[in-house]
Amino acid sequence: MNEAIVALVRRHDPDRFLTALFAPSEKRNALLTLYAFNHELARAREVVSEPPLALIRLQWWREVVEGAHRHHVVAGPLRAAIEAGDLVRGDLLPLIDAREAEVEPAFETVADWRAYVCGTAGGLAVAAGRLLGAPEPEALRPLGAAYGIAGLLRSIPAHSRQGRCLLPADKLAEHGLTPEGIIAEPSSVTAARVMQELAHEGLMLLRRFPLPRRAIAAALPAVLARRDLGRAPALSPQRGIADRLAVVLAGLAGRV
């Protein structure tokens, strides 16, 4: 195991770190590398002062996926996983493309927002499923998207502190809100109504279907999505022991 990758994912993506423990041991390092790569894409917009600079960071990762040799704690293992055939460029490049939407000041429509969650968290679930040998990796996209929706809703306070809003402007407008209004007052009663409606969209994406045990780790984030979305708008940024236990039980049972 690559200890640097393990430490990175454990710190920055503890949900997926827990689910990765249920992957076959021979695939676990590649799965954690995929999740570390996703973290690097997610932070591309967060660590720059000007949105266009995020595109430069994303292009840097695009070149890595396409074969460029770069010295980076994630780039080396990622390239190795691609060369070994565990990860495929056809899954990774769309993850980068989907992150470009974060450069825009807002998602104008619900359709744009859906495309974003399906391309980011949804696409990540597809890549994880293919890595783990899921018979139909694409079937995991809705489950991943549901987890992405839950993550966005849980992150509203954090995004507001960053001066960002990753909710669809047209949905906000239906309730007399704007992205700027959410940033200014993320915990308002009206914001809670928007969260409930978007959480319902996420719940509609969740469905149960059989997966071979070797691929169950790719679907386990849906366990947390179902719990989070069912609690909306009362979402805590912190995980409780019951959440972690639900993942463990689902992983041991081989069902989501």
Partnered with residue 107 across adjacent β-strands are 168
CA distance 224 to 246: 8
Its domain, for residue 149, covers: 3-253
Residues in the chain: 256
* The total number of structural domains that make up the chain: 1
Across 217-240, average pLDDT: 94
Buried b (16+ CB within 10 A) or exposed e, 193-213: ebbeebbebbbebbeeeebee
pLDDT band at 204 (very low <50, low <70, confident <90, very high): very high
CA distance 239 to 64: 33
Name the CA dihedral angle for 208, 215, 152, 61, rounded to a multiple of 10 degrees: -150
Q: What is the pLDDT of residues 20-61, one digit of tens each?
A: 999 999 999 999 999 999 999 999 988 887 888 999 999 999
Which CATH number does the domain housing residue 144 bear?
1.10.600.10
Given this model, what pLDDT does residue 193 score? Answer: 96
Q: What is the pLDDT of residues 241-253, one digit of tens each?
A: 999 999 999 999 9
Query: Residue 122 CB: number of other CB atoms within 10 A?
Result: 28
Q: Which amino acid is at 91?
A: D
Q: What is the pLDDT of residues 95-126, one digit of tens each?
A: 999 999 998 888 999 999 999 999 999 999 99
